[in-house]
Chains A and B, each alone.
Chain A
């Protein structure tokens, strides 16, 4: 995969690091001169992905979350977020809006819906008991619907 810049990091799956993931993405993206909406969308996307890894992947047990960000040719941002948690037994069901595997946590079940809405494509690879990897791409400089 050809890219002009890359950022990788690994951090413990604790909720305080959700803000760290958003800050890392902002710092990586700013040189590419995103619009305010692109930056806001992609901060939301990485926050959802990392929260999923912490809440669903590890169910608040300990583990590590890995992030890889790449700037691909033609201003395409590539985001990969992976965990070595419990995995998703039924990806289709997990992606249904309002579905959540942890109802007691008061989750809205909208993480995947938001990630799909704010990226051009989303790919989920998951193996039960081995973990989940989400990869997403978004081309900068497109007119996005709404607002």
Chain B
């Protein structure tokens, strides 16, 4: 799992890459929390476009970051989850904790 960050004004964008499971989420958690406390963003954006797998460990990861961000009075946006990850987010009612932005390419929709 590789993380790339883009910090723009009060936004911290985390570009996740690869598989999010119990194993990788421990490392992701440590790295993201370091970045959160370093930048104190108003908005944390998880970009999921390069995430190929996520199980409920990813939900635990988002719930934990939501708790931190709520204390900073900040919010979470989840961008571009795959259809499978979108199902898991829906099943876990993550839309209550975060804004989920899904834009599938037009050829998939038509």
Residue ranges of A at the interface with B (Cβ–Cβ < 8 Å): 15-16, 18-19, 22, 37, 40-41, 43-44, 47-48, 51, 54-55, 105-111, 113-114, 117, 146-147
Known: A106-B64, A107-B57. 8 other contacts (CB 8 A): A15-B26, A37-B83, A44-B84, A51-B55, A108-B59, A110-B92, A114-B55, A114-B56
Q: Which residues of B lie under 8 Å from residue A109 when comparing CB positions?
A: 56
Q: Which residues of A lie under 8 Å from residue B84 when comparing CB positions?
A: 37, 40-41, 44
How far is the CB of B108 from the nearest CB of chain A, in Å?
11
Residue ranges of B at the interface with A (Cβ–Cβ < 8 Å): 19, 21-23, 26, 29, 53, 55-57, 59-61, 63-64, 83-84, 87-88, 90-92
Nearest to B26 among chain A residues (CB) is A15
A18 in contact with B53 (CB, 8 Å): no
A18 in contact with B56 (CB, 8 Å): no
Q: Which residues of A lie under 8 Å from residue B53 when comparing CB positions?
A: 22, 40, 43-44, 47
A107-B56 contact in complex given A19-B19, A51-B21, A55-B22, C-beta closer than 8 Å:
yes
A106 to B56 alpha-carbon distance, docked (Å): 11
A110 to B63 alpha-carbon distance, docked (Å): 12
Q: Which residues of B lie under 8 Å from residue A113 when comparing CB positions?
A: 91-92
How far is the CB of B107 from the nearest CB of chain A, in Å?
16
B21 in contact with A108 (CB, 8 Å): no
